[in-house]
Amino acid sequence: MTNLIFDLNNILYRSLFVIGGFGKRSYTFDSQKEIDELMRKLSMDTAFLIRLINPSRVIFALDGKSWRKDIFIEENEGYKGDRKKSKIINWENIFKTLDEFIQIIEDNGMIVTKIDTAEADDIIAMWVDELLYNKKQHVISVSGDEDIRQLVKSYTSDDNREIFSTVFNPFMQGKNASRKLYYPHKFKDWLEKEEEVDIWNMSGSIDVDKNDFRRIRDTEKVRIEEVNGNLIALRKVFCGDDGDNIPAIYTWISETAGGEEKEVRITNSKFEKILESIKNEFEPEINHEDLWTKRNQIFQEIKKITKTDPTFKIDKRLKRQLKLVVLDPKLFPETIIDEFNKIKEEQLNKSRPNVGDINMNNMLQGTRYVRASQGGTGTGNEASIFKEIDKLSSKSLF
């Protein structure tokens, strides 16, 4: 069984980018026509991916206000503190459209999960843990956010089944661009291995999930790529994330050859030196939890590599970095975990949609976005406004 999880906010902002002509046109989303284009784009692209992946269950994760904004960062104005919303865009209309879309996908049998203080990434991380380890089911998370790749992982069940959490980035931009399916170690061997045929039980010899993954792999313009989710998380702990306004674990002032001062930070090369010094005793590989047991050695390595004498407390600094960048439910506030545990079973028990029947027109059927043909009997419905915006098909990132 394979579960499909959408990072809905990521999909929304990508759609805004495409609808607005990749930043080349001034779309304000004041007009109904522009709003209709956005609804079409969201419906068209999510329906396409659902049919492509053919999941047993579809989940949409939605952003709330992030609990990380309450984490104090002494080096800057705080988590995502430098992000500014465009003042020319009618955000009230955007979020009304998003609310409408959420109602539409729920009416179509899909799950929408939102927790007030959790980001979509946090919700995806909790779903991955629940579905991979507890339900023993595959997960494909859809997002263009590279941070989510740290959720690429595998699990071997008690009955020796290989179960995988993968990430699918469907966004293509530029010449020779491709969609990417990020997978963990062992996935490729599992995917290519043919199952032994049992002539008395042919249905038991067919791995439907494996065939679905193969179809994704073989789809035009899809490239599969192995990544190490643990390493992605570790790198962010030490090097930070400029996109989220998260500093490196340590920055300092250094004097240049010309006598000027400049700010220096832990870079990728310095991170690799620190990692090399502490990872040998961990098998099969070091993960973010191991950092805490080696925090004092890490502090000494930072001093040695940077040739400085840091004044921060390693316990406090490492704890901060882990909470800011690592998508591990064990690091989340208990209130978020409790809220997720209250709603997960009810959402999992929701009737599942027939994914083969999902397309843009069916999703929007019965809404103001799809109207009966004028003068017709109601059969052959189409969205009248869509005739004006078919140009979107030539701009799809999918």
Claim to verify: residue 247 and residue 116 sit in the same structural domain: no
Whether 298 and 271 have beta carbons less than 8 Å apart is answered as no
Claim to verify: residue 173 and residue 270 sit in the same structural domain: no
Tally Cβ neighbours within 10 Å of residue 204.
10
Claim to verify: residue 51 and residue 164 sit in the same structural domain: yes
Among 302, 329, 356, the domain boundary falls at 329
- The DSSP line for 382-397 is B-GGGGGGGGGGGG--
| Antiparallel, parallel or unpaired: β 57-62 and 111-114 | parallel
Claim to verify: residue 324 and residue 353 sit in the same structural domain: no
DSSP state of 196: P
Claim to verify: residue 217 and residue 254 sit in the same structural domain: no
- Separation CA 42–CA 36 (nearest Å): 10
Task: Per-residue pLDDT tens, the chain, 398 aa: give them.
Answer: 899 999 999 999 888 888 876 556 678 889 888 888 899 889 988 999 999 999 999 999 999 999 999 999 888 787 777 666 777 889 899 999 999 999 999 988 899 999 999 999 999 999 999 999 999 999 999 999 889 999 999 999 998 899 999 999 998 876 778 899 999 999 999 999 876 555 444 444 447 789 999 999 998 789 999 999 999 999 999 999 988 889 999 988 876 666 677 888 899 999 999 998 888 777 678 899 999 999 999 999 999 999 899 999 999 999 999 999 999 999 999 999 999 999 999 999 988 878 877 888 888 887 878 754 334 444 433 344 444 444 444 444 45
Among 283, 310, 329, the domain boundary falls at 329
State the alpha helices, DSSP H only, in 29-70: 32-53
CATH number for the domain that contains residue 15: 3.40.50.1010
Claim to verify: residue 170 and residue 183 sit in the same structural domain: yes
User: Which residues does 124 contact at the CB level (< 8 Å), separation at least 6?
Assistant: 5, 7, 61, 141, 143, 148, 151, 327
Domain extent at residue 67: 2-228+330-395
Closest CA to 82 of 247, 298, 267, 192: 247
